[in-house]
Every structure is written in structure tokens, then in C-alpha cells.
A = this chain, B = another copy of it.
């Protein structure tokens, strides 16, 4: 496999994986492109490489910046804006996990807490609803805590040492 094939394969795989980390295809592809680029890219560069429109590129770059994954780079003497992505995978994972937690997990935890806190009217179905949503709340909360704590460790040794525990 040559460079161009490998690049294409990586970009499109990462793109279709977007759903796994909760973003759309174009957004994931732009990030992938920047991730393996050796220099900042302009909107033109991205449009040409990915064959997507200017509007699409602009909107998705903005979203990536909102996530804190991509930043504008000003190149002196250049009129165009250039973009780069976080290049360190650990840091990337940290940002993504934090954002997903904030955007998706926290709201669900809130609802689960609410639902599991209704007053017990003594009926079996109410008891079951409370019991099950409480269990889900605890699990979600625990998982969320773990993800955040794991991902906040900047050093890799923690990951390794935890892994050892389970080997």
C-alpha cells in the first residue's frame, strides 16, 4: 500500500467511525486529514483533498474548534486562515472524553437521578422503575467518573499500571 492509498483509507475509516465518538463524517474526516498532515492546512486544501464544499468545510471546522480539537493558525504574510489539530493522541482522547461527558452523559445522569427520585407509591411497577433507573444511574455515574479520571491522567504510566491489574 502506498502513501496515497494509506492516507485515503485512514481518512475514510476515521470518518465512518465518527459516529462512535459522536460527530459527523465530514468533521471526523477533516480532523483525520489534519492529524496526519505535516503542516497547517487552509480551507482550500481541505476542500480539495476531501472533495467537499466551502460551506461544509467552514461549518465543520467551526465545530471542531468548538470542541477544542482544532485551532486556527495565522501564517505571517498569508491572507488565508490555516488550521491544525491536536497532535497528541492522549490529549485528543482527553478532550473528546471530556466533551462527550459534558454534552451527552451528564444530561442523562441528570434525568436518571430525577426519574429514580420519584416518590414510591408502594406499587410494584413504581418500585421496579426506581430500582432499575437507580442502578443505571449508579453505573453511568461510575463509568463517567472512571473515564474522566483515566483520561485526565496525562502520563501514560497510569494506563499501563491499571492494565496490569487486570492482566
Contact = CB atoms under 8 A, between A and B. Distances in A.
Interface of A: 1-3, 6-7, 9-10, 13-14, 17, 19-20, 22, 35-38, 87, 89-90, 93, 104-105, 108, 111-112, 114-115, 118, 121, 123-126, 128-129, 132-133, 135-136, 138-139, 142-143, 145-146, 149-150, 153, 158-159, 162-163, 165-167
Q: Copy number in this complex? A: 2
A17 B125 contact: no
B165 A125 contact: no
Pairs of residues from A and B, 10 with the lowest C-beta to C-beta distance, nearest first: A149-B166, A13-B111, A89-B135, A89-B139, A6-B118, A10-B115, A6-B115, A36-B129, A38-B128, A1-B118
